[in-house]
Amino acid sequence: MKYRVLTVAREFGCGGADIARKLAMRLGWNLLDQALVQRIAQTAHVDPELARRYDERVDSWLHRVTRRGIWSGAIEAVAPPADATVFDADTMAALAGGLIRQAHREGNCVIVGRGAQCVLHTQPDVFHMFVYARLAVRAERVRHREDAPGDLDSWIRERDLERSQYVKRHYGCDWANPHLYNLMIDSAIGDDAAVSAVLAAMGEQD
């Protein structure tokens, strides 16, 4: 099987994005990570910072109820109100799904997160990987980030939960289900070893 696309799901703080970047460089493929967020912002005509705020997140229950109320009221009134356009986590996920499918059609790309392993799960030319690491390893990786809080363990678990909920809500998948992936790899083995293992599993020359 000749793979045309690689999806990279990753636990927060495990270094999966770095591994994905190195894989894209070795394969000579396009990397869709923050570039995907930028493309969504351009498509939706919103500030990139707003798109990042909703990236891989799930809207609150209250927000979803309120949003349905806005649209049901618009339907009852026949014409939508002028300010009815809403950009939120659901909008972000819908746009991401569409761009992921478009990226698959074009091929030769590494897609990081955003439920790509679920969007493209029926495509035989897509290789899916999941990157993980022990909590202590991840805490050490994110310790010096500017946005790092005092309680690193809770922060990491919360971010993992957000990613898991995102995949569950939008695609009905269990984010950590091993059957979604061709390969699950511990980033503690080092970036170069991880890259070599993935390339070998994909049947690419290392």
pLDDT of residue 156: 94
Residue 188 in domain: yes
Full residue range of the structural domain in which residue 124 is found = 5-60+87-202
User: Edge-to-edge, what's the strand order for the sheet holding 109-112?
Assistant: 30-32, 109-112, 5-10, 126-132, 183-186
Q: Read off the CATH number of the domain in which 118 is found.
A: 3.40.50.300
36 domain-assigned: yes
**Is 134 inside any structural domain?**
yes
Average pLDDT over residues 109-117: 93
Q: Check whether 77 has a pLDDT greater than 50.
A: no
Position 69 in a domain: no
Residue 81: predicted pLDDT:
40
pLDDT at 186: 96
Tell me whether residue 78 is in a domain: no
Question: Which residue's entry shows tokens 């609150």?
Answer: 60
| pTM of the model as a whole | 0.83
Say if 25 falls within a structural domain.
Answer: yes
Number of domains observed in the structure of the chain: 1
Nearest to 166 by CA among 5, 6, 9: 9
List pLDDT tens digits, range 10-30. Answer: 999 999 999 999 999 999 999
Indicate whether 146 belongs to any domain: yes
